[in-house]
Amino acid sequence: MDPNLTSERARDALDTVQRGRQQVIDEIDLPWWYWSGLAAGWVALGVIADLNHPWVTVVATFIFGAAHATVAPRVLNGRHRTPRLSVSAETAVPHTAGIVIGSLIGLVAVTIAVALAVNADGAEHPATIASVFVAVLIVLGGPRLLAAVRRRASRSAG
C-alpha cells in the first residue's frame, strides 16, 4: 500500500473504478438485429396464421421457435450486444434472459387478445393486425426493457 495515498486520491481512484463499471453496465443490451428479427418473425407468423392453413402455421411456428432457441442462448443475457465487449456475469443482471422470455410470453398473450378483439370486430386478417401491433411493441419496447435492466444493474453496482 502506498503510504503517500491521500483520501482524495483514494476517492478519485474509486470514482474512476465506478465510472468504468458504469461504462460496462451501459453495454448491457441485446443486439439491434434481435429486436428487428423478432418483430419481423412475429409479423410473418401473423400473416401465415391468416392464410388459414393450420399445418403451415404449425411448421412456421416451429421454425421460428427453433431459430429463436438457436440465437437466444448467445444474446438474451444482454452480455454480448457487440463483439467489442462481453459484460461479465457478475456485472450483468442475472435474470436478464428470464425478463426477456417473460416479456415474450406476455407479448404472446397480447397478440392473442388483440387478434380475438379484432376478429370479434369483424376485421379481416386479425392475426396479421395483432402481430403488427405487437411488432411495434417489440421494436419500441424491447430497448426500453433493457434500459430498465441497465438501471437495475446500476443500482445494484452502487
Residue 93 forms part of a structural domain:
yes
Supply φ then ψ for residue 117, to 5 degrees. -65, -45
Q: Where do the H-state alpha helices sit in the chain?
A: 7-25, 32-50, 54-75, 96-120, 126-157
Residue 9 forms part of a structural domain:
no
CB-based contacts of 62-67 (< 8 A; 24+ apart in sequence): 67/41
- Give me the tens of pLDDT residue by residue for the chain, a chain 158 residues long: 556 667 787 777 666 666 666 565 566 667 788 889 999 999 999 999 999 999 999 999 999 999 988 887 777 655 555 555 555 555 555 677 777 788 889 999 999 999 999 999 999 999 999 999 999 999 998 888 877 777 776 666 55
CA angle 20, 72, 113 (to 5 degrees): 110
Sequential DSSP letters for 73-113:
HHHTTSS-SBTTB---TTTS-TTHHHHHHHHHHHHHHHHHH
* Parent domain of 53: 26-157
Residue 18 forms part of a structural domain:
no
Residue 12 forms part of a structural domain:
no
Residue 116 forms part of a structural domain:
yes
Residue 96 forms part of a structural domain:
yes
Please state the domain count of the chain. 1
